[in-house]
Structures are given as structure tokens and as C-alpha cells.
A and B are shown apart, each in its own frame.
Chain A
Amino acid sequence: MDSPAAALEMRGISKSFGPVKAIQDVSLCVRQGAIHALVGENGAGKSTLMKILAGVYQPDAGVIVRHGKSCVWKHPAESLAAGVAVIYQELSLAPDLTVAENIWLGIEPRGILPGTYSRQRMLEATRSLARQHGFNLDPNEKVEHLPPSTRQIVEVLKALARRAEILVMDEPTSSCGEAEVSALLEMVKRLRSAGATILYISHRLEEVLAIAEDLTVLRDGRVVYSGPLTGLGIPDVVKYMVGRDLADYFPKRAVRRGSVALRVSGLSSRAVHDVSFELHWGEIVGVAGLVGAGRTTLARLLCGLEPAMQGSVTIGGKNVNMRTPADALSCGIMYVTEDRKRSGLCLDLPAAWNMTLPCLPELGMKYFLRLGKENSLAQETAKALSLKWAGPTTPAWALSGGNQQKLLLGRALIAHSRLLILDEPTRGIDIAAKKDIYELIGRMAAEGKAALIMSSDLPELFGISDRILVMRRGRLVADLVTADTTQEAVMRLAAVDEVRT
């Protein structure tokens, strides 16, 4: 297996989206027949790299070398034709079709009459393909009845049926439960023994160490390590992943911790279990954790978007029961979603309308709007946030990501919210806007308001928060004072399942 032959090589790949440099000068070499792991924090550029491999994006610079030829894929069909198959996190199977129908979708074995396909040959081909790679599954089963790990297998077989030689797997275990993870890892190993080359994207480090031979670590769009995994332990990898200098754009402020603002005890739902913590007035608390650790669910529970099954929430000492977002708003909670386009903004509506939408009753506009007042208020808030727009009537879609985020944060200023719950407040926005947003959060905390910030960006959490809560698989596993801990420690708590290592 130690053959040095490269199945695929990327040389100096760069890709920018507008001013944002997603990946820069990325070079890596995937050896034939090896499992090559690609790790990095959220936003490090993993998915961009993957989409370039898939032919969805074209690099601004650099080449991909395959079979000794350099090539640029302009369409997913071209990368598939070159033998590279990308298996996305959100699987692309048709749930109503059977395993065999999904695998051969679009390339069904021909039947006797033109325009027909032979069901029998399709079933046989499915069985032999599965046997060849050491899997045992019923080709007639409908995909919707399969557990997530088996769906991954179907997805892999689908790629193999299209003669893929290199499989790019994106977070294959993210939708799996504990038991399924080991089944999936087993499958990946089996694929390698059957001769496939695998680029395995994950940020669950224990998985990576368990199966991969080679490793590439991305940080802020650049390769910080690429080479054999031998001799590397989890602490080394963690250091590569987060070893970023804290930029000095985080506001310095004196912490004036007040009384308890929010007390959460024993909060449980389907995705979070028995979460308890306290948040004081004037405090900024960060919530760290991997994707799927339950951070977003926690935020949704605290702002009435999802019902809690157990546990209680008190705000300022008073028990509250939030069943709708309107309840949460009237408790003084302002939630800013992680997905501003899908659930935050009404994109076709004027920016000012988006700012005032949750605040109309508080502004004395329970029945009638006062457009003049609304306009001047929006303009004032825009000024306070250094929001760049052509005016209050600009539709929200015409603003940049950072300015869109400011519209949502502006709501907290307008509503005089006391408690901010921000889910990934700086995802996908530029540095200047980030700085403005950090300043705003700091200013609000200085006024005695409290903020709970869910973020995958550890330097950000360390820069702005007083305390950090760490979540893993739906549980709160640590409550740390920021000044007394390190990014490595938090990353280890978030990424490493002690039970399984």
C-alpha cells in the first residue's frame, strides 16, 4: 500500500468569492489506494475545496492533476467522468426508490425494447457490486427505510457503479448515531481494501486518526499541514487546526457581572440532553461545539422555536414558558439565526422593514405604522451599526452579508432587547463587519445586557466571551472561564469522544 503513485494532486488551488478568499494556494497529493483525511474548522475552506473537486466551482488559480494530466472540471459530470465522485453530507438519494433503482439511476442496464431497462440485470449488477466491495444489502429495499449509515453505503455504491476511483466523502458520520459511526468507518476501510482511494473530510478527529493514512489540515483557506499521519496525535492536529493568532480586533472591555439573567436547568429535547447553565447580566458567554452538537437546538429552545420536553428557564428570576418566538421577544430575548437568508430576512422587502419587523408592537405600532418614525429609527440604527446601504428602502437582498447581519442585529437595538442569542453571528462576513459586530456585542454587554453566542470560530469565542460552554452530542460537557482555558482544550472537549478513544 506504500506506493507513492498519486491518484490525484492539487497544485496551488485558489478560489475567492468576491472579496472573501475561501482557499489560497492549496496543494495536496492523494496517494493511490489510501485514505486521505481533510480536516479544518468550519469555514476553513473544506467545502470549497470539495466543490472544486466536484466540478461545481472552478478554481481562480491552480490545477488538478489526474492520470498525469492537469485538468479543470467545469461541470460535475466532468469530474465524475475523470473518476472522482463526491458524496455530500446531505445525501442525494431518492427516498421513494429502491436501493438498486437509486444506484443505477440514469445508467440503468438496457432492456430488450428501446427505452426500457432490465430490472433483472439491474438487481444482479447491484448484488455483484455490493459483494465485490464486501457489503450485504437488499437491492429491493426502499431507501427511505434505511438507516443513515446504510444510505451512505448506497451512495458509495452509486458512485462505484459510475466507475469512480476516488471517493470524496464529506462528513459521512455527521448524521449517524454512535453505533452507526463504527459501521461506517468499517465500510470506509473495506472500500480501501477493495482498491478505492478516499478523501475523507471530517472534523471528528478520533475518526480521522482511526482510519486515515494521510492528513491535510486547512486553516483559514491555507494548508498548514499535509503529509502522513504517523506520529501525529490529537493534540498536534488540534494545534494545527486552531493555531491562529488572536486578531486584535476584539474590543477590550471591563466585565461588570450583574445578577443572574438567564438560568437554564435540566433543559432537554430530542437533540439536547439535560443542559443547565447560568448567564449573568453584562456577561458574554460563548457556546462551542461541532456541527450537530446541539448548539442551534439550544438556541431554538431558548427563543420559542422548538418546544422543550423537560427543564425550566428563568429570566431575571422569573420562570418563563416560551412556546412561540413572540413569547421570547416579549421576554426581551432577541435571537439572530445562523441562516440569515433562509430564516432571518425577508430578502425582497426593504431593509428598514426587515429591521423593525419584530419590534412593531414595542414601537407603539400595534395597529398603525408610522412610516416616518420607522424610517428615522432605521436610519439612526444603521448609523450606530455603520451599516452601508443606499437607504432604508433598499431591498435586503441587495446588501452584503455583513450588512444583512447588521439588519438583524439592529433589531436588538430597536427592541431594546435585554438578552441576545446569536447563532454564528459572523458566519460568511468580512473582517470589517465582524469588527463592527464584536463592538456592538461588547457595547451591549457594557450596558448590562447579556449575550449567548453560538460559534464554530474558536478565536472569535475566545476574543469576545467571558465564559465558554462546550457542547458535544447534545450535552453540555464543560463550563469554562475563557481566561483560564485554551483553544486546544476547548477543541479537544468538543471533538473528542472520551468514551470511544
Chain B
Amino acid sequence: MNKLVRELLPFGSLLLVIAVLSLWQPESFLTADNFLNVLRRSSVYGIMAVGMTFVIISGGIDLSVGSLLALCGMCAAGVMVGLGGPTPSPEVRALGTAAGLLTGAVGGFVSGALVAKLNIQPFIATLGTMSLYRGIALVMHDGQPINVPTYRYLGEGACFGVPVSVLLFLAVIAAAAAVLKFTRFGRYTYAIGSNVEAAHHAGVRIDRNLIAIYTLGGLLTGLGAVIAMSRTVSAQPTAGVGAELDVIAAVVIGGASLSGGRGTVTGTIVGALLISFLRNGCTLLGISTNAQLIVIGVVIVMAVAIDQFTRRTAGDAL
């Protein structure tokens, strides 16, 4: 019973928020445009949160994703402008996109290698790479943004009326959920997070899998970065400051445990949407962005507190 409550709680809260906002502001909130807008806005952090889900289930954390978001954008835009000038050709834009994704994967790989090979605690290792990546992103172009006015497709393009970024978001969700549930890699991710020593005893190659997990997280951050860059048609070296906290919050609200072994992609998505809808609702209700922080903070603490409470009572029953 408690298990069911626990699993449905984030989803229930999301429905509740949507229901309240629908009743309160039916004409501005309850429209297809607004919903697509919310999805589009959540796509970047949502995609990053999917990657973070793997990292957190494995018992780790990646604080560097916000910095990596900026670095990937700068690298992608740098390649586009460097090879193709201010109006790069579609081929050069594709190459730049690939560079952004690659940067993400490499960034994640480095964090993963620090954690797995040098045995640095994930919090400390990624605290280091967080600063490192931000520094590189700032130094690259003297702290100036790089504009690519023609790079619009990922941010503004649409397919059958659905924004490309939303389609990518949905594809990532589906693929990640499948990987986590139906592959050996997904299973090992849970095992490592639940009990790393037992996983090692059972023949799981811990370091390889951890590096793969962080690399995947980095790759998805790269994807988020090119979408974010395309939306503003420029790469900002200061993009994504503090993004790691929103991303981690989404994963945790979705029911993942920071001590590892627990979490789902669907939970994370519900967590990310909950934050987005709260933001959206606050904006529609005229609550300032500063005051929104208070609302988000209260929601995070409540979500985790209720989760802990239901876990404890479930444990007592046995």
C-alpha cells in the first residue's frame, strides 16, 4: 500500500498542480499552446535529468552538468563559426552539433574516470569538473557569447506541429527508460547503486560501468546544450549556472534515492514536469521568479520528506 502511495505520489502531485492551475486560470493555462510551451521549456533540463537519473541510481551525482551545458554549447558554436563563419552551411552546423555532443560525452567520461579509476567521491570529483568546465567555457571566447543566427532548427523547428525539441525529449525518455529496464547495463546501474561491493562480487565491472554511466550523462547534457543553444541562437559561456540543482531536484522529486539503487526515468520526467508546471503556473499567476524559488524549494523538501516517511513506515511493517 505504502509502496503504491510512494510510487504514485509524484505523479499525483503533478496531476494536482495541473488540476489546480486548470481551474484557476483555464483560459491561459489549459491550452495546447501553453502545454507545448511547458514541454519545450522542460526539454533541455529534462533531457539532462534523464542522464542524471542513471548517475543517481548508480549511487553517484554529477554536479558538473550545468557547466558542461555551457561548454558543449561553446564548443558546438565554436566549431560552426570557426569552420563556416557567421552563417555556416547546414553541413557545418551538423558538424558543430556533433562537436557539442562529443564534448558532452568527453566531459562525462572525464568525470566518470575520476570517480571510477581514481576513486574520488562523485561529489568531489564533479565539483572539480564543474569548475574546470565552466572555466574552459569562459576562457574559450574571452567570456563572450558566440552567435550562430542560422542555427534554429532544434530550437524552433517543428514536426507535425510538435516542436523538434519536444520530439527529441520524448525519444530520449523512451530510449532511456528502455535501457534502464531492458538492458544488462541498466540492471548493473541499479546493482552498483544498491551495493557496489555485492555487484563487484557478482562479476560486474564497476569502473567500466561507472564510466559508461557518466559518459551517457554527459552525452545527454551535450544534447541539451545544442537544443538550448539553438533556442537562443547563441552559445553563452554563463549558460546553465545552477542548472545541476534543478536537474538533481527533478530526479529526487521523481523518487530516486541519493544513496543509490532506486529511481526511474518516468519518475524523473514527472519531477521535471512538476517543476516546470509550477514555474509556469507561478508566472501565469503573476508570482515573481524570485518568489518562485521559494515555491520550488518547499516542493523539493516536501517531496523528499514524504518519501522518507513512507519508506520508514514501510520498513517498520516488516
Contacts and interface: CB of A to CB of B under 8 A. Distances in A.
A329 B202 CA distance: 8
B204 A357 contact: yes
B190 A349 contact: yes
Interface string B199-235: 1111111000000000000000000000000000000
Interface string A286-328: 0000000000000000000100000000000000000011101
B261 A343 contact: no
A342 interface: yes
A369 B201 contact: no
Contacts of A365: 184
B190 A346 contact: yes
B117 interface: no
Contacts of B118: none
A135 to B, nearest CB: 39
A368 B183 contact: yes
Contacts of B185: 367
A335 B190 contact: no
Contacts of B183: 367-369
Interface string B101-141: 00000000000000000000000000000000000000000
A63 interface: no
Given A365-B184, A368-B183, A369-B187, A348 B203 contact: no
A343 B198 contact: yes
A357 B182 contact: no
Among A337, A348, A366, A411, chain B packs the most CB atoms within 10 A around the CB of A348
A358 B183 CA distance: 14
A348 B262 contact: yes
Given A348-B262, A367-B183, A369-B182, A353 B190 contact: yes
Nearest to B257: A348
Nearest to B260: A348
Contacts of B195: 342-343, 345-347
B318 interface: yes
A324 B202 contact: no
Contact of A348 (B186, B199, B261): B261
A224 interface: no
Contact of A324 (B198, B205, B262): B205
A328 B203 CA distance: 8
Contacts of A326: 203-205
Interface in B271-308: none
Contacts of A367: 183-185
B207 to A, nearest CB: 10
A449 B201 CA distance: 21
Interface in A342-393: 342-349, 353, 357-358, 360-361, 365-369, 371
Interface residues of B, number: 23
Nearest to A346: B194
B83 to A, nearest CB: 36
A343 B184 contact: no
A483 interface: no
B186, B195, B205, B261 — which one has the most chain A CB atoms within 10 A of its CB? Answer: B195
B202 A358 contact: yes
A371 B261 CA distance: 19
A5 interface: no
Contacts of A481: none
B199 A346 contact: yes
Contacts of B184: 360-361, 365-369
A185 to B, nearest CB: 36
B65 interface: no
B191 interface: yes
Contacts of A328: 203
Identify the interface centre among A328, A329, A357, A358: most chain B CB within 10 Å of its CB: A357
A77 interface: no
A371 B182 contact: yes
Contacts of A271: none
A398 interface: yes
B60 to A, nearest CB: 16
B4 to A, nearest CB: 13
A266 B13 CA distance: 64
B199 to A, nearest CB: 7
A367 B184 CA distance: 5
B194 A347 contact: yes
B180 to A, nearest CB: 11
Contact of B201 (A344, A347, A353): A344
A198 to B, nearest CB: 37
Closest 10 CB pairs between A and B?
A346-B194, A358-B202, A326-B203, A357-B202, A329-B203, A343-B197, A346-B195, A358-B203, A325-B203, A348-B261
16 contacts: A324-B203, A325-B202, A326-B205, A343-B198, A343-B201, A344-B198, A345-B198, A346-B195, A346-B198, A346-B261, A357-B191, A357-B204, A365-B184, A367-B184, A371-B181, A371-B182
Given A343-B195, A361-B184, 15 more contacts: A305-B200, A324-B205, A326-B203, A328-B203, A344-B198, A346-B198, A347-B194, A348-B194, A357-B204, A367-B185, A368-B183, A369-B186, A371-B182, A398-B318, A411-B202
